[in-house]
Chain A
Amino acid sequence: MIEVQSLVKVYPGPVSALVGIDLEIGPGMFGLLGPNGAGKTTLMRILAGLLQPTSGKVRVDGIDVARDPADVWERLGYLPQSFGFYPHLTGEEMLLHLLRLKGVTAPQGQQVLCRELLERVNLGFAAKRKTKTYSGGMRQRLGIAQALSGDPKLIIVDEPTAGLDPEERLRFYRLLAELAENRTVLLSTHIVEDVAVLCPRFAVIRAGRVVALTSPAQARRQLEGKIFEGSATGNELATLQSSHEVTQAHLVEGHNQVRVHVSEGSPPPGFHPSPPTLEDAYLVLMRDGRAPAGTGPVHAAAPPKAAPAAGAEA
């Protein structure tokens, strides 16, 4: 259980990265969604005990992270947003080194475990190569392997799918889903699809504030009947953007396929109701900073009953 109370982080400047965050996160997968610069990484680093907050409380299983970060590290699997490895070590040596530092053991021994972990992340073929020869995706997979090692009680992954191709992303979703069955997995991302696929609960963070704490289904439900879709020319789109809240606009076969959020009044002529997506909800939140009704700060305590099927977002 993660408890965050009135968390504030101000960088010299001063720049307020977090402005009074309150969260309670129970077991299971929890998403942290927000645009770049919203404060997600700052929050993750504070939760990982790598950054001292300016004020507020952060507890992990009752441990005060600010005061006793080392106690958190004992139960933490952490994948930061950007990272590297000792260039002269092979992938296997690097992972083995981190297994030792984490005190990870397995009945089959550390060496075998190391190889099996590398296989899990599809790096078995490069185990004997120095990490400086790794591509970005290979490095990311090695990072994932170390984060998963040791069966940590808490896993914090910051933008984990960056650099992964779709297949690897899918594989990683499965691994995370499996892990989330009996522990807390905190996923930070700006990719709505990641949250939609993986997280029964998530928080939307913007400008250092939690603007929504909800589930994908609830978020979509809040927009039920308020999303309309239609097509528009370029000029019409410009008019629409000034008169309505356009959530998405894609070019489909040369036409703008536009979705608008209509909370009050009537939709634009020619637009028809459409089932809301999580991206609609996210973009609405990002647009006005208001939480749709029913997505206000709530406790995300309910564990998921089952892992969501990968790629099941609709």
Chain B
Amino acid sequence: MRRLREVASLELRAQLRQPAPWIMLLVLGLLTAGLASGNVMVASGDSSVGGTKAWLNSEYAVAQVLSILTFLFYAFFASIVAGTTILQDDEARVGDLLHATPLRPAEYVWGKFLGALGALLVVLALYAVVLVAAFQLMPVDNPDEIRGPFRVLAYLRPLLLFAVPSVLFFAGTGFAVGERSRRAVPIFLLPVALVLATVFFLFNWSPAWLDPRWNRLLMVLDPAGFRWLNETWLQVDRGVEFYNQSPIGYDWVFWLNRSWLVLVAVVAVASAVPHCRRVIAGETEPRRLRRRREAALADEAPRALGLAPERALRSLGMSASPPGLLRGVIAVSRAELRELRHQPGLYLFGPLILLQVLGTSLVALGPFETPLLLTPGTLAVRSMNTLTLLVCLLLLFYTVESLLRERTAGLAEVLYATPLRSGALLFGKALANSVVGVFVVLAAFLGCAIALAVQGTVPLRLGPFALVWGLLLVPTFLLWSSFVAATFALCRDRYTTYALALAALIATGYYQFRGEMTWAFNWNLWSAVVWSDLDLFPLDRAQLVLNRLAALLGALFFTVAAVRFFPRRDSDASRTVHDLHPRRLLPATGRLAAWAVAPLALVVVLGWQVRHGFEGELAEKQAKDYWRKNLATYLDHPVPGLRHIDVAVELDPAERGFSARGTYTFYNHLDQPVARLPLTVSPTWEELAFTLGGTAHEPEHRSGLEVFHLDPPLEPGAELRIGFSHRGRFPDGASKNGGGTPQFILPAGVVLHTFGPSFLPVPGYLENIGVDEDNRAETRDYPDDFYRDTVPPIFGTVATPFTTRVTVTAPSEYTVNSVGILVSESELDGRRTVVWESDHPVKLLNLVAGRWQVERREGTALYYDQQHPYNVEEISRALVEARRWYSEWFRPYPWRELKVSEFPALATYAQGFPTNITFSEGIGFLTRDEPGSNAAFLVTAHEAAHQWWGNLLTPGRGPGGNVLSEGMSHYATLLLHEQVKGLRARIDFGRRIENRYAERRQADSERPLTKIDGSRAGDTTVTYDKGGWAMWMLHNHLGRDRALAGLQELFRRFESGPDHALLEDLVDTLREQAEDVAAYDAFVDQWYFDVVVPEYRLSEARVERSSGSAGSGSDQVAVAAATTDAGGPDPGASWIARVRIENAGTGRMPVEVAAVRGERWVDADAEQAAAAATPSTVSRDYRDARAVVVLGPGESAEVEIRCDFEPDRFEVDPDARVLQLGREKALARL
């Protein structure tokens, strides 16, 4: 023990003298301080001003931070620190000396490990202090809301249970790998592999269909423990009070997870002892190698006695001239490549990235969680972040170890004394190491090729991969490699280089996470690149080129620095101090700095472009000015109705330019005169001019709000015409950090609409401009009878429908679509002019242009890019069916044509403007249909429904209003699925959105549907998914005919404005259809005015042959007439199945419980599906018998079902008619 203690203590001191632990502590500390501003809170609570917040120092929040941070950081840090301890002894060649002492291998191994572990734990302990200080003392906004009282256990338990086992695991496994391999690179393999597998898979891969047993297994496997925390506690939102106050309940899954980590660590270190013993005894050399060595020695002995032929050296005729750069590079890289062949990393990372790419590609999801149809370009861009991270990590390890190779091999003095140029040495190594990157990229390419082959739809093309991974990623890798080399050259230490480089990566990720990254500094292009098959990087191509150029020039600078400082010669400390004198330092720095001028200049240019771009500080300031100057005066200023819009727009996609002129004909639909009429314009427009009543007019300029002072005021019923003309660019300038933009005029296409002042003035003041986290107003409290007033529309500011005439001129190759019908088309000098007129009044206007093919059906047209023909049939069919059935169910479609137009994936939305729906290419056109997911149909059905729910019936601007748009469109989609695709499709879609609701809702802060205003986290899923489900259940409650009749009545009442419907109006209108008003009120009280969700659990399932008597029991539900799927009672029942059902959730709904046998659906083949219009049918082997039970919160009952088949399981709500949580758990197998 004394010797073990001595080894451990020496190791501990040595480790703590290294700079790496302290750099890591510093980075962790800075990161934690940044996170302490409230970014790490549990995702629960009320995000609105004044709402109850989750504390950042609750045990759950601390556990969340520690499980993720310690995993991500210590995976590398602990592996490297513990893994290289014995390696360092080998390099220092102290092994023989140590093992010549009485020190035993076990003492040596455990001493080294415990010393390294001690250092890691010291850093962890210090980090814990930093964490406590940051979370308890850091100044934050509203500290009382997000910071609870200090509780030691809230920190201590997560530290001991999450962080320490993870650290132990990585230290133990890293140590064992280092001891076995005695090489540095294998040590890095485990953490890289685990981080990739964990972050990209274990942390968040949890599809709804995943069996809970598999889920538990994955929780056990996750070395971070985060999956357990997330799936067990955080995803099942328990409410903010729970997270703030309660300690974490650790269950057996957690203990199993932590135990195996500790066990593996201990076993790994213990297994190193016998191996170390064999190394000392020289027994670990491979037999082949040993035989060779023995043969060598045997050969050597006799030969050494004889003299070689004595010929003068000069007879060899040698001459030498220093090798040129190229020859040197080739020579070095050849030798390095020979070494690389023996690196196991090369062979392990290939399959790893291949699996990763395959895994993420095959489960890629788009809008509404629909499977994506991937193209080579989207695949290449989707893989960029992972590839960048992985290759950067590999290049870090390989570059450092490569630069150290001569020193560790003992060749440094020989090689460095050759006339080889340092540049050739570094370039040669970099060239060889780039093979690692190439290998990984090839593996990723193979993964993508397999993914495309599995899809079997989109052909493989090399171009996008070469472009994205070649032109875009190679500068990143060059920059990173040269940065690592320069860092190593300067600090001359392996661990400091690792620490600094990892710190750089982490800092980059942190700024990305905070949304503060810009084109100027996004050296690795994380999340900046958007792929569109319609054009190459259409939005920020110039910034992308400048960014890549800056990266290349930066790489050159770092290369020069690396060559300049590469430690080929050991420096002298006093000379170094002397060299730091300004007189010597300045010229030297100046020479080096000259190389930095070009990349810095590009960074400055990019910074300038970002600042002046459409997302830059100046644009933000203009928006803030608009808000600041006008909010108080014009927020609720009455805006007269529009009668007609007549605009002419000239588009110049190549220059992003447009010019617009036109007139708005207002009429005062209000009952009071209007003296001031505000129009919102863009501050970037030029040559903006107005007319009022046909004569030039200068309105009051109020930072983007042009206010027309009407003298005399516009009397009720009177008309007023305002003319305008202007020109501009849209978007004007660069984006902040790539990504996309919702509207644009680009060569790839044009998307413009009137939600904001992109190309046309918008009547009134827009309350969303200039509002961000800093100035977001407290959500408005609406009185319960708010809906009884005249409610303004949710979209735009104009309360009444209007007619439009839109004249657009664009280059001839573009087709331009707008609302209404095309009334004329002409072409002159390469420019086409089209005129669109509304054939029925509209409330919104948009304009979309592109180079398309067109597919026309009855009353519909689909405009698509020729590269995306895959779902044209499905979308066209959905459009036709939607138009037909929605017309029948809700209100006849009043316009002549319904169009869908595709636009580049700079935005990922679809928007249903009147007659003119726009789809991003990733929506519908590039979705993948598969059994259980009619993706293209789903998206089209939803967007088409907005023609009714949104356009014809525009909801009111008030709580619950958007449910009438999005929720009702989901409801319409449910109906259309069942109508067109069949029962299974409707059930699948219902379960899909139910699952989304369960995952994304914020139980604690969820408000009733009638109070949803979009201000809280979780409101989106309530609006869409619960909103759709609530109407679907109401539809079932009322009965189909009564429900549809009520909805038709709603259209009649609210379609024309100026009052706009809210959910209360829907409920009131449908109430008129209810047969049982009390039951109706009970229903709507639950689902529209309260927050309830049932959660059913089954237990005590059993089945027996019928003995002729029903069971007994006070809470038993005897079922006299069970039904089969085909319907009807089952008089010859011979089996009695019993199960206990409990409603562990809330709400009281009649719900079916079914005793089931066999699989319900069989997939029809393509031909049958086409013929039957349904992709699946009911299996002949399937049987079920059902009973209906009504349970309130916490109630349970035994259900008895008699059937003429032996069931194999019970299912709750087999037809998906009741929204519930945990449906996958509401199953009991017999």
Contacts and interface: CB of A to CB of B under 8 A. Distances in A.
Real binding pair = yes
Interface of A: 9-12, 45, 48-55, 69-70, 73-74, 76, 78-80, 82-89, 93, 97-98, 100-108, 113, 116-117, 119-122, 124-126, 129-130, 132-135, 137-138, 143, 146-152, 165, 167-168, 171, 174-175, 178-179
B417 A108 contact: no
A135 B296 contact: yes
B318 A100 contact: no
B335 A129 contact: no
23 contacts: A49-B569, A51-B572, A52-B569, A52-B572, A54-B575, A74-B320, A74-B419, A79-B414, A83-B413, A85-B411, A86-B338, A88-B338, A88-B339, A97-B331, A101-B328, A102-B320, A102-B322, A103-B419, A105-B321, A106-B318, A106-B319, A135-B300, A178-B312
A310 to B, nearest CB: 11
B125 to A, nearest CB: 31
Contacts of A93: 335, 338
B314 interface: yes
B571 interface: yes
* 7 pairs of A and B residues whose beta carbons are closest in the complex: A84-B410, A150-B320, A100-B331, A80-B413, A52-B572, A78-B417, A103-B323
A119 B335 CA distance: 23
Contacts of B414: 78-80, 83, 98, 143, 146-147
B828 interface: no
B297 interface: yes
B416 interface: yes
Interface stretch (B275-283, B301-309, B676-684, B968-976): B301-309
Contacts of B293: 133, 135
Nearest to A156: B417
Interface range on chain B (Cβ under 8 Å from partner): 35 or more
B806 interface: no
Contacts of A84: 409-411
Contacts of B573: 10-12
B572 A9 contact: yes
B570 interface: yes
Count chain B CB atoms within 10 A of each CB in A69, A102, A119, A149 and give the residue with the most. A102
Nearest to A72: B417
A290 B327 CA distance: 52
Interface string B549-573: 0000000000000000000111111
A96 B334 CA distance: 11
Nearest to B288: A133
Contacts of A113: 316, 318
Nearest to B413: A80
Given A113-B316, A168-B304, A179-B313, A134 B296 contact: yes
A22 B414 CA distance: 26
Contact of B304 (A102, A152, A167): A167
B571 A52 contact: yes
Interface in B1201-1223: none
Contacts of B213: none
Contacts, number: 188
A138 B300 CA distance: 8
B405 A86 contact: yes
B418 interface: yes
Interface string B671-705: 00000000000000000000000000000000000
Given A54-B574, A84-B410, A129-B296, A101 B338 contact: no
B415 interface: yes
Contacts of A175: 313
B317 interface: yes
Nearest to A168: B304
B309 A119 contact: yes
Given A12-B573, A98-B414, 6 more contacts: A11-B573, A70-B419, A104-B318, A121-B308, A125-B300, A126-B300
A18 to B, nearest CB: 11
B315 to A, nearest CB: 9
Given A50-B416, A126-B300, A100 B411 contact: no
Contact of B308 (A12, A87, A106, A122): A122
A102 B418 contact: yes
B342 interface: yes
A149 to B, nearest CB: 6
Nearest to B405: A86
A2 to B, nearest CB: 15
B1137 interface: no
A132 B289 CA distance: 9
A262 to B, nearest CB: 43
Contacts of A89: 335, 338-339
A116 B411 contact: no
A201 B461 CA distance: 73
Nearest to A84: B410
B569 A50 contact: yes
B755 to A, nearest CB: 65
A6 to B, nearest CB: 15
B4 to A, nearest CB: 31
Contacts of B313: 120, 148, 151, 175, 178-179
Contacts of A85: 409-411
Contacts of B316: 106, 108, 113, 116-117, 120
B1121 interface: no
Contacts of A12: 573
A16 B845 CA distance: 85
B318 A149 contact: yes
A89 B309 CA distance: 26
Nearest to A139: B410
Given A82-B410, A88-B338, A100 B327 contact: yes
B411 A86 contact: yes
B541 interface: no
Contact of B307 (A9, A167, A179): A167
Contacts of A86: 335, 338-339, 405, 409, 411
A52 B319 contact: no
A97 B337 CA distance: 12
A143 B417 CA distance: 13
B32 to A, nearest CB: 36
B334 A52 contact: no
Contacts of B305: 167
Given A85-B409, A179-B313, A69 B569 contact: yes
Contacts of A11: 573
Contacts of A101: 323, 328, 331-332, 415, 418-420
B629 interface: no
A199 B717 CA distance: 119
Count chain B CB atoms within 10 A of each CB in A50, A69, A117 and give the residue with the most. A50
A50 B413 CA distance: 7
Interface string B849-879: 0000000000000000000000000000000
Contacts of A45: 413, 570
B40 to A, nearest CB: 44
A78 B342 contact: no
A126 B296 CA distance: 7
A104 B571 contact: no
Contacts of B314: 151, 178
B417 A73 contact: yes
Contacts of B781: none
Interface in B1077-1093: none
A148 B312 CA distance: 12
